[in-house]
Amino acid sequence: MNPTSQPSKSPAPLWHGTLPFHRLTPSGALADVFLHGAHVTRFDPTGGHPLLFVSAKSAFEADKPIRGGVPVIFPWFGKSTLGQHGFVRTMPWTVKEFHCDPAGESEITLTITSDALTLAIWPHPFDLAFRIKASASLTMELTVHNAGREPFTFEEALHTYLAVSDVRQISIDGLQKTPYIDKVGGTRDMPGSPDPIRITAETDRVYLNTPATCTVHDPGWQRSVSVAKTGSQSTVVWNPWIDKAKAMPDFGNDEWPNMLCVESANVGPNAIQLDPDQRHTLGVEIALRPLVAR
């Protein structure tokens, strides 16, 4: 934050249907953050293509997750008898802090605390704080606090949907030689490849034990996008491709070429155990970079 900027009173929210959101307008960019799920749905550099993808079919409704942007995943990842990807992505969050510097950067911090509903589902007291800072890049920090008296283990992810010109033309650097779990058609442990990742079919991979920065090279839009992270040892790469896209009611049949998930996470064997009154922070920075010829 610019040292000359001061915390400001949270402005009245804007509305998308029945869901309130706040708009950050730093110099050179624009970001939208919904209180529903603490969900970042937009980060647009001025004069450029958006960095985040949101489906035109997404239901902006209080009891449903938003499809796209950056869903906050906690306290479990993936399918469960208790629901998909945890519960905080469909809960209302509260604005704790708001800073605005139109000449520099803007940021907002949202919080949520366990209650009777969450404790009935997952019996561990917690506090979450999600700090979003918009400037030339988009920076996000999810902090988990164990507010109980016993240790707990959790999974988490910032499930980032990147906008791309054509997923069949992009490549991903940063995960070369990294082993992964392939979840398409079952679950298989796979060795890492020495080559950049290219998307040629349905892709659902969990790369383990990696803190690496990923860079998505997009020749169609003449740009590269970096996803740098801290406090994360898993990276998920996902694209539904043709058939799965058609099976999702909140995803357009023809939208799959224009999105790619590069998710910073701690899942599976990289799940986090947190002692009482301890905190863990997962941080991500998404930024435009000059296109590197591949």
Return the active site residues: 159, 263
Q: What's the rounded Cα separation, in Å, for the pair 160 and 264?
A: 8
Question: Which DSSP category does 101 fall into?
Answer: -
Across the chain, how many H-helices and E-strands are there? Answer: 2, 22
- Are 288 and 263 spatial neighbours (Cβ–Cβ below 8 Å)? no
Element (H, E) at 161: strand 161-163
Phi and psi at residue 160, to the nearest 5°: -75, 120
- In 48-63, which positions are buried (b, 16+ CB within 10 angstroms) versus exposed (e)? ebebbbbbeebebeee
Distance of CA 284 to the CA centre of its chain: 8
Report CA 107 to chain centroid distance, whole Å.
Answer: 16
The continuous run of DSSP H or E covering 243 comes out as: helix 241-247
